[in-house]
Structure formats: structure tokens, C-alpha cells
Chain A
């Protein structure tokens, strides 16, 4: 799992590193969400993008999309572009008939018109105004498949080059799209790999309690909240209400609320972290399932608060994917951090 984003301001600010356009930012609201939480509105040539750490020859992703209108023929409305160093590899767009297609030129990253249709268009009426639909794609060197509403609508055998950038947004000045619940699978982990999630959403929660393990609530909470979990539960974060520690090895481990679902595909954590004096303090995110820890990548703390994410697809308690375990096990997993240096 490369990333998830429920399109809250937290996940957008944390995941994406390129932003452009007028409506981004103010477009993040509950009114734009599919289920609950928040969704993002992109209009007037706005987009956000992310450059990957490494170029990927294969990836799968899914996103929920709802357009405000269908474009007027012959315009094509683009909402997602996979690129390599700025150059479009594949853009997804739809036309006035609600057909979806894959295009080799143009995209949301430059607010340019789509051209170079690859293969054929999908059936009509797959995309309709003001209705959220889940759109998934699988791209590799041997082809691309596009699924809409969990049904395969395009299968192309064209060769696609590696991609190192993902852009979402709107490439036109007149239309807007709502986007929510993004997942990206990078296919670089150990087999067996994930397949399409097909029925997914992303639930974001703040903590509701400290650790059940004595000694793992060792970061000092500020008042007035007075507890580590309450300080960490502010959405958005309140920088004045924080937990801190300068003791290497000190742990902060937090418990989270139940998950109302039948399956958990993976967990992702977001933390707003900093160091409060110049130096080289580091922290390491830790998932803790049934008292078994799973440490993430050590984070060299910046001098001002920044969001950091760390995902988990394997239950450290079982060594098996969260998907193969119980929802109860996943929702009981504590998430926290250790002062690691």
C-alpha cells in the first residue's frame, strides 16, 4: 500500500506535494464526501499531485469521483493523470456521453486538453452528473484496465511506461469534480499482492484512549486536555495541546474507536510531529497489535509541525495481512510513536 487519502485537509497536506488552482483548500468539506468525513472539490483548473519516491512500472489505484456536469462535446473532462516527470503516461477522462477513456496526452497537471485516445472508449452512461462512482485502474507495462462501479469497462493491451507522479483534479475551467477515498497500491511488497479492493472507503478517527499497556503512555501531555490521547485527538490538530518527550525510548501508544465494517484492508497513521529545539531528535511510528509491536520508518523531526504517515498492511501479531484477520484485531491495534533518537 503506497497511500490512502480520505481527502481531509490532513491527508491532502500530508500526501500531496504539488498544489495548483483556486478551489483547492476551500473545497475540502463534509458536503463533498461520499459517505462521511470530508471530500475534495476541484474546479477551475485546480489539482494536487504527488511525486513518488521511485518510478513504478505497475500500480493499482482507486478513487471515488463525482462530476458536477458532463462536458459539452467534443470536450473531455480529465480528473486523474499518471505522469513521468511531468509528462503524461495515462490520463483518465470522460465525455458528454458518460464514456470513460484513457488518453496519452494532456491532463490535470497542466490543465491541458486530453488527446491521443488509447484504444476505445467505454460504454456510455458510466459517468453521470452528481453521482459518486468508484473508479479503479491497474496499469503496467503490458496494459491497463479501468473499472467503474466495480465492473471492468476498459481493458487495453498497450504498453505503458513507468510512472512517478499522480495528479488528481480538473483540467478545465468550467467543470468541477468531487474526489474522495483514494488508495494507491504500489505492488512492491512481498507476494501475494493486493488486487482491486472493489468496495472500499477510508475511515479516519482520532484516538479515544491511551495504551492499555502500563508504561506506554510516557509522553508528557500539556493541559488543559491533560492526557496524551485527548491532545492527539484534536481534529484539526491544536499545536498548543500536545504531547512531548526528550527521553529516548519513551512511548506514546493510543487506542482508537471501533470500525464498522466487515473487512479491513490496511491501516494508515497520520501524525503531526515536530521537535521543539534545534537538534536531531527522531521519532518512530509504532503499530501495536495484541502487545506485538511493528515499527515504521524513523522520522527525523522538523522544526515545525508536519504531517507524517506510515501505513500497515500486515498485522504484527499474526504476520498475516489485516485483510485476513478480524476487524476486532485491527480496531484494537494501538498506534503511537517512540522517541527513537
Chain B
């Protein structure tokens, strides 16, 4: 039984990491209806920039600020060069454009900083700690704390600030938001910046766990089932979905994997999400899909 709980908690905590990546997707999808496939590439790009600057002798705070500035610039460039010319195109075209951005970011990140594995040491403590008789990795606990504070920060930003209110208005109804004078283009820049900063945090956490390398970009693929479980437009959905996927994945790998030959982590979350969608098409917390003719 204790083993079961250890696996469960390990899964939940790694699910937190998926939630971090899924959050970035949700932010952009909510505000602009763009399914941003480049989120994974943004995670890698931010992490690579950060690590690259650290390796060039920057202090941690300087590198962090420089990376955030880079993500802001990226958001502005994306809005100017990609979103603005493609406004009002079909969703699939926007989706394809973000795949183009993903290629671009992966290429440029690795061209600038090299394709090797960069270890990222921020002095985050690792090693097991004993909580109520269950072994938990300290790193996972810290990751959970970081994710928690990030979500709290985002919730505060969305609920209490002026810009947050504007963002929610845009998410509700583009045209109504525009007609009351909310500048849509600025909102997109802000939202991509927010997604970039979330990607940066996710990049740091994944990077210090695995080392900064190309496979970090593939984490985005793990975030997709989280998204459809939780609903594309729901921040709490991204968190709960992440936890469910993380726990389900680990439990299935440990208790089900040996019977079918292992390696089922790659698809289990997708199958789970797909079966779930058959029952509840809008995901756990997604807005109810109402169709009008």
C-alpha cells in the first residue's frame, strides 16, 4: 500500500510539471483561439537562452531578466510578423503557423547555443525526504511549490488587475472586447509574453531535472492530453488534468506495464484522454460546447 502511495505521489508531482507546460497553451488559446504548438519549443528556447547566458558568466538574476526580455521580444515579433497578417484565418492555418514557429525556435535556439545537453544547476536540492513515512523527492516538492505560486500569481493577475480583466473580456468575446476599446493587438502581445514567461519557468524546472536538451521540446506532447482532459480554456483544468495524467501514467506504468511489455507511458495519457472525451467532449472544465445553427 505504501508503495502504491509513493507511486501515486510521484506521479502527481510529475503531473505538476505537465501542468506547467499546459498552462502556456491555455493562456494563448483562451485569449486568441490559437492552438500554440510552439509552446514546447518556447520552453526549450527559454531554457536554452537562460543556460547559454549562465554559461557565458551571467549572474542568475541577470540571465533571468535577459531571458524574460527575450521572451517579450519574441512575443512582439510573433504578433507583428505572424499573428497580425494571419488574423481571421481558419484555426488550422494558425495551428500550422505555430508549427512553423516551433521549427524556427528549435533551429535558432540550437544554432545559437549548440545541441549538447546543458546541465542546469540552480542549487535546487534533490534527494528523498520522508513525509509521513512516504519517500518524496525534494525537487518534486519544490517544483510543485513553484507551479502552485505561478498559478496563484496568474489567478491574481487574471482576477484582480486591469489587464487581466481585459484578457478575460477578450477570451469571452473578441468583438465585444474590441468595441469597448480593448486593444486586441496589445492583448496578444501580453498573452504571448505571459505564455513565454510560463514557458521559461517550465524550462527551468524541466531543465534542472533532465538537463536542457532537445527532448525538453517534446514535453509539449505530454501536455496535449492534459489539455484535452482539462479543457482547452480552463486554467484549473490544466492543473487537475496534469495531476490526473501524471498519476495515471505512473500508476499504469508500474502496475499495468509489466503485463503488456512496458513503455506504455507514451500513449496511456492519450488513450485516457480520448476515452474521457467520448463521455465528456468539452473536457473536465471546458466551456460547454453549445452549437447554434
Say whether A and B bind each other: no
